[in-house]
Copies of this chain bind each other. A is one copy, B any other.
Amino acid sequence: MTTEPRSGRPRASSREVLSEAACELFLEQGYDATSVSDITRRAGVSRSSFFNYFSAKSDVLWSGFDEQADAGIALLREGTPVADALSAIGRGLAPDALALAITNADAMGIAAELDRDRAVRQFRLQREVASRLAHDGATPLAAQVRAGALSAAVLAAVWAWADRTAGGRSLADTLAEALSAV
């Protein structure tokens, strides 16, 4: 996806490696008790490097989702129908650190943090969707409301999928159902 550079020093780590190290530690010690230094120490890089990969400690769980959200938002801005763009977010999503954090939120002591970050992601989607709906002629207020429903549907579907206490339906199906509920 992102173009590979032709020269320069090769990376000593990756988002995936750091993400896995972080998840292990979160399960062992909890989120709060795990410092960024802990994560980088286990991953074998320096603390400074962490912020070359993520912009914040909490982002370590969300980089997969954020990539898909970025793609979906790009589609939105290009004019793709709203429902299609939002479905695309779910299509590209794989079980990763986020899904693991959702199912093990209690063990990680991460519920509050997860709520906060989920809220931020949902609102980001809402803003983009509302902008699109308003551009398509909706009242500003109505656009916000409808966008609120749509973005809530996306995040709720992700949660239902990750935290599959009930039979493991696919994310695409769950997302389709959630969007159709709008």
Chain B residues whose CB sits within 8 angstroms of the CB of A123 once the complex forms: 115, 118-119, 122-123
Contact B146 A177 (CB under 8 A): no
A residues 129-154 with Cβ under 8 Å of B? 139-142, 144-153
Bound CA–CA A155/B130 (angstroms): 13
Asked if residues B145 and A178 are in contact (CB atoms below 8 Å), the reply is yes
Answer yes or no: A19 CB below 8 A from chain B CBs: no
Task: Report chain B residues within 8 Å CB of A149.
Answer: 145-146, 148-149, 152, 182
Compute how far the CA of A144 lies from the CA of B151 in the bound complex, rounded to whole angstroms. 10
CB pair B160–A140 under 8 Å, yes or no, is yes
Secondary structure dominating the interface of A: helix
- Which size class do A's interface residues fall under? 20 to 34
Chain B residues, CB < 8 A from A157: 141
Q: Verify A145–B141 contact, CB threshold 8 A.
A: no
Which residues of chain B are within 8 angstroms of A142 by Cβ–Cβ distance?
181
Instruction: Output the nearest chain B residue to A116 by Cβ-Cβ distance.
Output: B120
A63 within 8 A of B: no
Asked whether B141 lies within 8 Å of A126 as measured between CB atoms, the reply is: no
Residues from chain B with Cβ under 8 Å of A40 in the complex: none
- Chain B residue contacts of A120, Cβ below 8 A: 115-116, 119-120
A156 touches B145 (CB 8 A): yes
**Do B148 and A144 touch across chains, with their CB atoms under 8 A apart?**
no
Which of these, B116, B145, B150, contacts A153 with CB under 8 Å? Answer: B145
Rounded to whole angstroms, the CA-CA distance of A119 and B160 in the bound complex is 20
A123 and B148 alpha carbons, distance in the complex (Å): 10
- When distances are taken between beta carbons in the complex, the residues of chain B under 8 Å from A122 are 119, 123, 148
